[in-house]
Amino acid sequence: MKHYAKQITSAILALLLILSVTACGGSTQSTEKTVVIGSKDFTENEIVSELYALALEDAGYTVERKMDIASSVIHTSLVNREIDLYPEYTGTGLLSILQMEVLTDPEEVYATVKAAYEEQFQLTWLDYAAANDGQGLFISRKAADEYGISTISDLQAHAAELRFASQGEFDQREDGLPGLEKVYGPFDWKSSKVYDNGLKYQVVENDEADVAPAYTTEGRLVETDKFVLLEDNLQVWPPYNLAPVVRN
């Protein structure tokens, strides 16, 4: 994390130096500028945005924070110059913003979104983090051991014996259940009920359900005695590596 933070800080500072010079019509004199950093409306994105802000403040820049912007509008906020940068996910850029076909190689996804954002929006993707906050499914340790499930293929084969804790939206999104079923086949759950996303680990831990969607960096997934994150063995989901996206 420290190494990544240093890389990000250097990249952001380089861009801001260019910005300050061009703002003066090519003069070598820097001009004071407030950098407006945004974040999406969930904890991980807020924390990373705050890291960006602290790094820039430590380097002497004035930073304004605009946190908790809805995921559906934050890209528009950047394009409309309401913010200067925010943390985005490569897979989100590929599928949600650019509406492109799924790719699964991290470098290919990054190169694709980087080039397309530059061409279409005049936005720059800085270097991405190794961490992948991707889409995933987890199962209770009890059910995983009982049925020998470690992959999504295993899960599909045993779906009729398992209770699914849905978040509703996951059943409709192209990168949710519909995308899985195109590759793995139908998931004929023993039962499927919609639960609030914040309750999914509690629901599985209390044996009210066996399986639920998750993002792969969620903290409770470290509790491997209770939960098993399943391998996407047929690679349905693209990588969701995190990077700063900055106005040119």
Residue-wise pLDDT for 69-117, tens only, equals 999 899 999 999 999 999 999 999 998 899 998 898 999 999 999 999 9
Domains 2-132+239-247 and 135-229 equal at CATH topology level? yes
Output the average pLDDT for the chain: 88
Domain boundaries in the chain? 2-132+239-247, 135-229
Q: Which of 12-16, 44-48, 60-64, 229-233 has the least mean pLDDT? A: 12-16
- The pLDDT of 21-38, averaged and rounded, is 59
Q: What is the percent of the chain with per-residue pLDDT over 90, rounded to a whole number?
A: 73
Could you tell me the pLDDT band of residue 18, with boundaries at 50, 70 and 90? Answer: very low
CATH of the domain spanning 135-229: 3.40.190.120
Would you tell me how many other CB atoms lie within 10 Å of the CB of residue 9?
A: 17
- The pLDDT of 212-226, averaged and rounded, is 94
Q: Which CATH class is domain 2-132+239-247?
A: alpha beta
The pTM for the full model equals 0.71
Could you tell me the pLDDT band of residue 7, with boundaries at 50, 70 and 90? Answer: low
- The pLDDT of 147-166, averaged and rounded, is 98
pLDDT higher than 70, residue 13? no
